Amino acid sequence: MRENIRNIAIIAHVDHGKTTLVDAMLAQCGTFRENEQVEERVMDSNDLERERGITILAKNTSLKYKGVKINIIDTPGHADFGGEVERGLEMVDGVLLLVDAFEGCMPQTRFVLTKALALGLKIIIVVNKVDRPNARPYEVVNEVLELLIDLDATDEQIDSAPVIYASGRDGWATAEYNPERPKDDLTDLFELILHDIPCPDCDEDGPFRMLVSNIDYDEYTGRIAVGKIDRGKITTNMPLAVCRHDGKTGHGKAARIYTFDGLTKTVSDEVGAGDVVAVSGISDINIGETICAPDRVEPLPFVKIDEPVLSMTFSVNDSPFAGKEGKFVTSRHLRERLFRELDSNVALRVEETDTTEAFIVSGRGELHLSVLIENMRREGYEFQVSNPVVIYKKIDGVKCEPIERLTVDVPNEYTGVVMDGVINRRGELVDMTPTAQSYTRLEFLIPSRGLIGYRSELMTATKGTGVVNSILEGYEPYKGDIQGRGRGALIAWEDGETITYGLYNAQERGTLFIGPNVKVYEGMIVGENARLEDVTVNVCKKKHATNTRASGSDDALRLTPPKLMSLEQCLEFINDDELLEVTPKSLRMRKRILNTELRGKAAGRAKKAL
């Protein structure tokens, strides 16, 4: 037992305050200088994380309290990044389960708690945000205990789970909550971690062994393996054996070893069992492999990562604007980037197709895939993607599809419209619970394909007041067909630049996605039709001069502001016969067949086949 080390992960549903609590813990243990300016959510270092206000990648940090080193892993809250949670839990001996004092147990709370219980980790229940309006901390504690029972936790796991009440934003925690006299700091939480989280149970004297749970990267030293030392110690320049996924053994040496000290990695000469360490020097190391001493090569089992449920086709951009905005545009560039992503994104799958121009990429959900797409376009890649489709499984000879547990929190007046919308998508209501402030929580089981495009529909139906969360529940037999997009597309008639006059005539048909002076090409989607069918419109049409009117007098025409589509909205909008062109500067939706005449002939053949 290493008495001077504790390894913990902070797990919770999205936006329940994990990263904010870590900020407060670091601040109160002297990680920052007294006058240092520290950004909020300092652990969310990635640009996308800061922009979206979510954690995407699991992060390592550490702090010192009463001479004990506490290694902390801050994990994502979104179900789409569950792979980050699963591998992070491999490195710890206990978890802080954060639950919002108002929202209570949510879908991802169930998911992360299931994983922690399966690994037999010690659980501390932290009821966070107890100072927010309409907080109901004691009811939430009962919800967590009911969830533990529901997940078949042992009596010991339930009885030994202490509860602490906290405000991560204000930096205090208390075992005995008194709203009139809250505590001043997180001392109660630190004491609970020291008292209740077990020390690492490891062999300090045996030959070195470590499971690689994460991969970091440095442009000078290359790939860096991160994990908890299971046995022995590691020293600089020590020879190492690597247990590969395919059963073969590789070799390398520990060029440099680092430990985590606050927000930085500190170079060390020697690190012992039970500590979390980062090792550079093995260029081709991967997550899930075991690093050992060469004289005793024994692989450790790696946690099984849940399978992907959605797939998309990534292909080389072949639109008329191909190669004009991107730095990396060839199939070789695309292939190298996608397979490089597999090194650190353990929940992702990439498959080659019968053509070198396209690859099938599978992930946990739309957000998981859209983050990859956004990162690639920021790096200068130009490509196109298909609409997301669910991955079916054959179970006992029956075609089965992924089913999600969908939770929707809405004002009472919208419960009817939400239920109608979900049931139309083959959803099934399983629970309906009133919550505070005239809100109702609706819980459904719905096919994953029924959720594609549903979030924006729900936001419109509830005037932006609905809160939607979902998580994979399992696989069930195919539920039947679901009607696709309820409206058609407005498609550009010709190549050119959009003109106010052409747009003015087109906007009568529906909602436009682009404004004037935008370059378009034939077959590009420029808006949403108000009706079901697709319509071709000439947005480049000019008003010809006559003896009574000048061609420039269209300046007086009033255009409705276009609906600017985000990446996620574009992915939800496109149909099977459409693609999304992604470049560092633009997102353009288009038809697979750009030529209007050829597209009409293909549609006619498809009707005859039916």
User: Residue 40 has which token pair?
Assistant: 């909020």
Instruction: Indicate the residue among 162, 196, 230 that finishes a domain.
Output: 196
Note whether residue 500 is domain-resident: no
How far apart are the two ends of the chain, measured CA to CA in Å?
Answer: 69
Note whether residue 135 is domain-resident: yes
Domain that holds residue 285: 209-292
In this structure, what CATH number is given to the domain that contains residue 188? 3.40.50.300
CA 523 to CA 508: how far, in whole Å?
Answer: 19
Instruction: Indicate the residue among 416, 443, 477 that finishes a domain.
Output: 477
Same domain, 134 and 228: no
Same domain, 171 and 108: yes
CA 293 to CA 270: how far, in whole Å?
Answer: 14
Provide φ and ψ at 420, rounded to 5°.
Answer: -60, -45
Same domain, 277 and 424: no
Same domain, 282 and 431: no
Whether the per-residue pLDDT at 209 is higher than 60: the answer is: yes
CA 193 to CA 263: how far, in whole Å?
Answer: 20
In this prediction, residues 28-33 reach a mean pLDDT of: 64
Same domain, 171 and 283: no
Same domain, 37 and 76: yes
Beta-carbon count within 10 A of 237 CB: 11
Q: How confident is the model at residue 79 (pLDDT cuts 50, 70, 90)?
A: low
Find the range with the poorest average confidence among 23-37, 227-241, 283-297, 488-502.
Answer: 23-37
Q: Write the CB contacts of 543 (distance below 8 Å, at least 6 apart in sequence).
A: 501, 549, 551, 553, 554
**Which pLDDT belongs to residue 555?**
54
Beta-carbon count within 10 A of 171 CB: 18
Whether the per-residue pLDDT at 609 is higher than 80: the answer is: no
Query: Do 249 and 305 meet the contact criterion of CB atoms below 8 Å apart?
Result: no
Q: What is the 3-state secondary structure (H, E, C) of 67-131?
A: CEEEEEEECCCCHHHHHHHHHHHHHCCEEEEEEECCCCCCHHHHHHHHHHHHCCCEEEEEEECCC
User: Residue 70 has which token pair?
Assistant: 């506490």
Note whether residue 453 is domain-resident: yes
Same domain, 189 and 213: no
**Which pLDDT belongs to residue 41?**
47
Q: How confident is the model at residue 610 (pLDDT cuts 50, 70, 90)?
A: low
Q: How confident is the model at residue 150 (pLDDT cuts 50, 70, 90)?
A: confident
Running DSSP on this structure, what letter comes out for residue 161? -
Same domain, 225 and 257: yes
Query: Do 116 and 32 meet the contact criterion of CB atoms below 8 Å apart?
Result: no
- Number of structural domains found in the chain: 3
Same domain, 169 and 259: no
Over the stretch 8-25, which tens digit does the pLDDT of each residue have? 988 887 777 777 888 888
In this structure, what CATH number is given to the domain that contains residue 419? 3.30.70.240
Spatial CA neighbour of 72 closest among 83, 61, 80, 64: 61
In this structure, what CATH number is given to the domain that contains residue 279? 2.40.30.10
